[in-house]
Amino acid sequence: MTQLKNIAICIILSLFLFGCEDVIEFNDNQSEPMLVTHIIAMPDSTLYAQITKSVFFLESTSDPLKNKNGNYLGVNNALVKLYVNNVFKENMTLVSGDSGIYKANYIPQENEEIRVIVSSPSFTKEAEGKTILPKKTSMTVDTVITYNQEYSMIYDETGSLGYDTIQYKRITYTIHFIDNGADENYYGIEVLDDYSLVSEDYGYYNPDTTDVNRYLSTSDETVFGGSAMEPILIFDDKKINGQSYSFSFYIEDMVNTETYYTSLVTKKRKLRFFSLNKDAYLFMTSAKKNYETSGMSMFSEPSQVYSNIENGIGIIGGYSVVVKEY
């Protein structure tokens, strides 16, 4: 199939040999920068907003989305009005001008509607968006550890080809939870590791590396549609609505052997199970697709990132989380 695709690309590219290029003047109102609003809301947690601006796609700097200091293009003169259940609560306070981070004093609760109106002298229109925080969820986890090994080809010190044995420790997690049949529900799962990097050979010790996403592998047909390997597994409840459901996934750690040595040591592991609201779910799934399909493709249509912000770009999304630490 790749061969077919390559041949088809060659046929199309051959048109460039006798075609002629011309610049298109972009006379469209879509070239003006837009307000970008991102708000992540969790029940019982401080509410933050990040207000930045977008950049026209023909902008020629090498890293157009960062300023000279290497920070994102934060909008530090924004007025961010917070409404909860249609009642004005406060203007959010700027806490990081370079990054455009704003903070609210109000601590939102589950099932509350969070609405923000963002205005800035640099933009003609107010951006506005709202979302409803999801209910908290719960889960239980079973863990099974197995070991397996595989052979890999290596070159030894003399340059000769040989085989090495790599041993893996597979940790299979099974999550049990009950879906609330009255609502549309969306879930996510991730595993974060805190590492230490220790190299005895060179007497080198690296300070802790925290919250590193592990790739999770699953073959659950019902909610993931078969095999998947992602740092965050996201799914909806369309096929399990109102049911008590269990799904499994695993991560693998390499184990030191006589011929193989890893200096990576996991100090702590967090398993986080999310209940996402629909806005957060749509944003996360579409952003992933947008990222994967970025760039020009001859054969496919690009993927849009979901936004619930009027007169702007971005998302107000909500989630609740249950954390299990190991």
Cβ count near 249 (within 10 Å): 22
Report the site for other proteins in 208-267 (rule: CB under 8 A): 211, 232
43 part of the interface to other proteins, by CB under 8 A: no
Contacts of residue 70, defined as CB under 8 A and 6 or more positions apart, other chains included, come to none
Report the site for other proteins in 92-121 (rule: CB under 8 A): 99, 101
- Cα torsion at 183, 188, 189, 193 (round to 10°)? -140
294 part of the interface to other proteins, by CB under 8 A: yes
* Binding window for other proteins (CB under 8 A); candidates: 57-65, 149-157, 177-185, 214-222: 57-65
64 part of the interface to other proteins, by CB under 8 A: yes
Given 166, 228, 313, 322, the residue binding other proteins (CB under 8 A): 313
125 part of the interface to other proteins, by CB under 8 A: no
Nearest to 319 by CA among 60, 63, 39: 39
18 part of the interface to other proteins, by CB under 8 A: yes
Give CA 245 to chain center in angstroms. 24
Residue the block writes with tokens 């920068």 = 33
Radius of gyration of the chain (CA): 24
Q: Containing H/E element for 202? A: none
| Number of residues lying near other proteins (CB under 8 A) | 77
CB closer to other proteins out of 4 and 87: 4
Handedness of CA 214, 215, 219, 224 (dihedral sign): positive
CB closer to other proteins out of 266 and 294: 294
CB closer to other proteins out of 24 and 87: 24
Cβ count near 55 (within 10 Å): 16
The burial class, CB within 10 Å (0-12 / 13-18 / 19+), for 305 is: middle
CB closer to other proteins out of 11 and 153: 11
The one-letter code for the residue type at 250 is: Y
In the complex, the smallest distance separating the C-beta of residue 159 from other proteins, rounded to whole angstroms, is 26
* Binding window for other proteins (CB under 8 A); candidates: 23-31, 143-151, 243-251, 254-262: 23-31
* Binding window for other proteins (CB under 8 A); candidates: 103-111, 119-127, 156-164, 315-323: 315-323
Q: Which two tokens stand for residue 282?
A: 């749509």
* Three-point CA angle 106, 112, 118, nearest 5°: 60
155 part of the interface to other proteins, by CB under 8 A: no
Q: Which two tokens stand for residue 254?
A: 């390499």
Give dist(CA 249, CA 215) in Å, integer: 10
Given 103, 130, 272, 324, the residue binding other proteins (CB under 8 A): 272
In the complex, the smallest distance separating the C-beta of residue 109 from other proteins, rounded to whole angstroms, is 19
Report the site for other proteins in 160-219 (rule: CB under 8 A): 188, 190, 211
70 part of the interface to other proteins, by CB under 8 A: no
List alpha helices for 145-303, DSSP H: 221-224, 278-292
CB closer to other proteins out of 164 and 230: 230
CB closer to other proteins out of 128 and 190: 190
In the complex, the smallest distance separating the C-beta of residue 114 from other proteins, rounded to whole angstroms, is 14
